[in-house]
Structure 1
């Protein structure tokens, strides 16, 4: 989830558990601690472009790390801020722990994947109920927290936290409706999917991207789940076959190992990019949900030596045509 949403969610829980006289300081501690796990984005390597994919949403996002991560936040924020405002260290740690504890669970509501139980397992949990940026989730929380802080009303902070629980629940209902529509669409095509998932499109829980896998292909479609259900049939693409698509690649090379790392990150949804044969794309994400315009990919090089890593590339499809296509689905016109 975006840092602001993470921060205000952490603030809503810490304020909900605070005393009236601690409302502001509890909110600040919860806000900053709620954003702190995403400092793992600083773990990068100029030599290994995929390193950040392995560490983002890893140990800092583990539920088992909450006591340690919140303690580190409290050690810093208590001396810099909270102690001067009359809080004992235990109180600072409590508010930091409450804020920190919300982060990984909210991230798991998105479709990116979060290692909730690292180091016991490196499984990436993705419940696919909220987009990584969603104003309908964040703006009510921000508004309620502002009034809670200005008016010193604890109940407003609690309402904000309740909304943070309600919205992903609505997303879960919408996800299940979208998946049901996806299964019907696959059945109409006489397909029996190996797996099928519905993911919220950008900034809403009304239009969903349905991705399903058959023996040899991936299919992507859009589904609008409002008062009625409307489907927008989309594209399909052959699943990645490394020996077929990259016959020149040495299976023992670093590039081959990087493909498997990228496969783990993308939950197996890999295909050769139809617009650039040296790119391997993550099929799961696109701005227009029924299209195969990946948001990120890796690039291979036939001339690279055995120790050279792949390149990591991001693709921001923010063209007017893409925005209009998504708007048409959102507003059903």
Structure 2
């Protein structure tokens, strides 16, 4: 999740656990601990792909954060002995461990058991979702105005947790809605990812991939019985095969679970993470190799510039979210022509 959300979550937990004793400093302590795992972004792992795939690695591992909690709690108990060591341990452990657990509900993926296994991604919540964050912020604001406001903090944590549970339920409902349409299109066995569109859990995006094709479906809870629109994108398995032995390509395949789009442009083979963003606005594209005739030369991986934000995107998404626009073509970010398809 975004930094503001993780800070608000950490502050809320710390205030609920030790706010009566520490006062407002509990929020500051929780806010710092809540953002601590994300400081791994300051580490340069040497290549763009390494930096991309190592984020949410060791610093988000339960196997690292759990023992670290004991050490940090010991240091804090010496700084503020009026809070017992067991209470410090509860505060630190809850803040540090809930950070990666919450991140796991997003699409990016979290290496919860690093160095064992791969990234885990539930993909039920967008990385920024105001409906999750606002209850936490209101609880913290109530604490700042009139500490310790433990009931407000507890209510904020409860509402956010219930909303997180709703995201999983909504994802299941959408998954069951799109499966018959995919099966009818001969994609019943395709790898499927279902995730919310930006900032909400009303409008969802389902992505199904095979070696040769990718199908995108946008559907929401205000669609009623409208027929689903399947938008098709070609995939090039030959390009994937060309770079399949390159360590950087293998790393991206592992990290994205195969949800990549390969493209040959200006004699360079690029790989785009199609899980994040939307077609035409995927933020993570990497140059992997250069092609000269029959020769393939691996490139020091570099990330291509992110596409510019489309100022017309939010009004279009809002119109589709509310059901005013019954279908949305992601390739053009527009409604299909009347009687036509994407």
- Give me the TM-score of the superposition, normalised by structure 2: 0.82
**Counterpart in 1 of 2:331?**
none
State the match for 2:239 in structure 1: 245
Q: Note closer, same or farther for the CA distance 1:308–1:76 as it changes in structure 2 (3 Å cut).
A: farther
1:15-45 superposed Cα distances (whole Å, 9 cap, x missing partner): 2222523242322222111111001111214
Match of 2:136 among 114, 138, 141: 141
1:208 maps to which residue?
204
Q: Are 2:40 and 1:34 aligned?
A: no
Distance 1:122 1:145, change over 3 A: same
Segments of 5+ residues of structure 1 without an aligned counterpart are: none
CA RMSD of aligned residues (A): 2.9
The change in CA–CA distance for 1:316 and 1:206 in structure 2 (over 3 A counts) is: farther
What is the CA–CA distance in structure 2 between the aligned matches of 1:326 and 1:232, rounded to whole Å?
Answer: 16
Report how far residue 220 of structure 1 moved: 1.1
Distance change (3 Å), C-alpha of 1:88 and 1:125: same
* Partners of 1:283 and 1:251 in 2: CA distance: 18
Deviation at 1:186, TM superposition (A): 1.0
Alpha-carbon offset, residue 209 of structure 1? 1.0
* Separation in structure 1 between the aligned mates of residue 311 and residue 227 of structure 2, nearest angstrom: 22
Q: Is the counterpart of residue 167 in structure 1 residue 157 in structure 2?
A: no
Does residue 298 in structure 1 map to residue 286 in structure 2?
Answer: yes
- Is the Cα contact below 8 Å between 1:209 and 1:223 reproduced in 2? yes
CA 1:74/1:154 → structure 2, altered by over 3 Å: closer, same or farther? same
Count how many residue pairs are aligned between Structure 1 and Structure 2.
319
Q: 1:259 aligns with which of 237, 245, 249?
A: 249
**Other structure's SS at 1:301 match:** strand
Aligned twin of 1:309: 300
Contact 2:108/2:276, CA 8 A, preserved across alignment: no
CA-CA distance at 1:165 after TM superposition: 1.0
Q: After superposition, where does 1:99-114 map in structure 2 within 5 Å?
A: 99-114=95-110
Separation in 2, partners of 1:227, 1:329 = 9
Give the structure 2 partner of residue 50 of structure 1: 49
Displacement of 1:197: 1.8
